[in-house]
Amino acid sequence: MGSALMASGAMGLPVSGFPNMNAIMLEDTLGNPYLTTMDFFKAGIPANGAGKTTLLEKIKNLYTGHPGMAPSRIQPTVGVNIGKIPMKRTLVKFLDLGGQPDLRGIWESYYEDSHAIVFVIDSCNSERIEEAKEALLGLMEARDLDGVPVLVLANKRDLKGMSLAEVKEMVNSMADFMEERDVRVLDSSGLDGEGVRAAVEWVYSRIIENRTKKPPIVPET
């Protein structure tokens, strides 16, 4: 029903936990190293319900020009999928984690380095809205996620389902748990790409604005 996307940053090198990638440093068109690496974490509830992997493939397509995996080939996420896109002079890495109950225990491994949350709602599955709400509340209560901006994304806007107003009503009912957190509700379609750029750009802008409170990670040299 829902998915969460989080972001973390590192100056120059990827965050720890990905030893096979720690030598990667992309360069911009001027030959200058990217200043920051930010990692996005996504978790689905259920893993194949909210369209999180389809959304990630569309993001990769929109920002790199390379075709993403066809929706018909996408399987439920087990473990983690990684996507990387360049934005301005920043390399943004997306982590797409499985959301089945027995996999959610790995989410907290990514909390400390996260700089944003994008919680993806399957707008066509209102029957599981309470499960999604419970998962989002769990993220809001995580100490390592204090103060990070939150985007609640109503996905599958190309299909008939919950309206954006209904999703906003759900979020408003959780206002006491949001505290002074920067929160936005948008809609999107991971299938046709509607609203995807607006969602990514909002998250990126909030991460940059929030970096004085939660700065990028500076890796050891």
Residue 60 Cα distances to 39, 101, 143, 161, angstroms: 14, 27, 30, 26
First CA to last CA distance, the chain: 41
Length of the chain: 221
Residue 72: which of 99, 45, 53, 85 has the closest Cα?
53
Give the integer Cα–Cα distance in Å for 185 and 136.
13
Residue 99 assigned ligand-binding role: yes
Residue 102 assigned ligand-binding role: no
Residue 121: which of 181, 62, 174 has the closest Cα?
174
Give the integer Cα–Cα distance in Å for 128 and 45.
9
Find residue 27's DSSP bridge partners.
33
Residue 156 assigned ligand-binding role: yes
Find residue 116's DSSP bridge partners.
7
Torsion angles phi and psi, residue 43, rounded to 5: -135, 140
The one-character DSSP state at 215 is: P
Binding residues for Mg(2+): 53, 77
Binding residues for GTP: 99, 155-158
Binding residues: 53, 77, 99, 155-158
